[in-house]
Amino acid sequence: MRATVMYGAGDVRIETVPDARVIESTDAVVAVSHACICGSDLWPYKTMEHSDTGRRMGHEAIGVVDAVGADVRTMKVGDLVIIPFAYSDGTCVFCHEALHTSCVRGGFFGVEGMDGAQAEAVRVPQADGTLFVLPVSKDDALMPSLLTLSDVMGTGHHAAVIAKVSPGKTVAVVGDGAVGLCGVIAARRLGAEQIIILGRHADRIALAREFGATNVVSERGDEAVERVRQLTGGYGVHSVLECVGLEQSMLTAISIARPRGAVGRVGVPQGETMAGSQPAFYNNITVGGGPAPVRAYIDELLPDILEGRIEPGKVFDRVVGLDDVPDGYRAMDQRESIKVMVEP
């Protein structure tokens, strides 16, 4: 089968690899119908050291079950399923607490030893706990929005939940990538009264407004902090969704939170330490978040997609086949594209 392999910064190749197959009795093999490129894939695209063996890429997909192990109970060959970016057994103590990303038998796609989703097929461990069977066909027009349930919509929702967004709250979203944009959807969906997007790309800002952003702050650093304060009576916002992961964006996030505010961070942190420890302390700001348990959120978010109340699939502004995945990375890295969908 063909799959995406990254060998180093800027070096993404489509190669023929051994076919995905059932290894454990709890595995399924899924033929990928829709995948995508993630903002987090751009970190290794910028910085990865050369590897002779390469790394399989991709962790967001929808596909059709092609084979199941002997112990798989909740799906059958031919079912259309969402593959969340983490696999999980659905039965451990953390899955029961709805934190599937900490599953004791879980792990992530697109890491050492695991298949990636930017490929023709994927071996999915813990299939019963991981996969979510969809009630539609793979030609459904909702496919782009459903695909976001594998990561970005669930991740934006996680940021909003951890940032304690609730009706009437003031919210800021740091970052105008696909996750930030889904964060705007999530904040509006949870009842936020004011939603300030911090970003500077015209296409993304336009989409943020369509999704419900009420204000745009295009400044950076101290000037951005000042603007947000002006927009919020001088005190900052109740809830901040940090959707970047850089030291500077985290410092901005903490600096625009009002006293007793909450920051939900879902941008993968690129540094060992967190900036803003002292302002967070003196203002009693809570910082939480991490890899989103998107598997846990599908039940809640799916009806809103099926019934048309949210359209996160609009973050996809380019569709490529597998051969054009390397160019998809380039386009996202150069901000030509918000998010690229892959149809293998």
Beta carbon of residue 251, minimum distance to a copy of itself (angstroms, whole number) = 10
Q: d(Cα 82, Cα 15) in Å, to the nearest integer?
A: 24
**DSSP H/E element including 170:** strand 170-174
Q: d(Cα 150, Cα 81) in Å, to the nearest integer?
A: 10
Beta carbon of residue 26, minimum distance to a copy of itself (angstroms, whole number) = 22
Q: d(Cα 20, Cα 9) in Å, to the nearest integer?
A: 26
9, 42, 283, 330: residue in contact with a copy of itself (rule CB under 8 A): 283
- Map residue 80 onto helix, strand or coil: strand
What would the two tokens of residue 157 be? 């929702």
290 belongs to the binding site for a copy of itself (CB under 8 A): yes
Residue in this structure with the two tokens 């410092």, named with its chain if needed: 251
286 belongs to the binding site for a copy of itself (CB under 8 A): yes
102 belongs to the binding site for a copy of itself (CB under 8 A): yes
Strand partners, 67: 29
Binding characters for a copy of itself, 233-272, by CB under 8 A (x = yes): --x-----------------------xx-x--x--xx-xx
Q: d(Cα 86, Cα 150) in Å, to the nearest integer?
A: 9
166 belongs to the binding site for a copy of itself (CB under 8 A): no
Beta carbon of residue 324, minimum distance to a copy of itself (angstroms, whole number) = 32
In the bound state with a copy of itself, the residue whose beta carbon lies nearer, of 67 and 268, is 268
| Total chain residues near a copy of itself (CB under 8 A) | 35
What length does the chain have?
Answer: 344
* Contacting residues toward a copy of itself, per CB under 8 A: 93-94, 97, 99, 101-102, 162, 235, 259-260, 262, 265, 268-269, 271-278, 280-291, 293
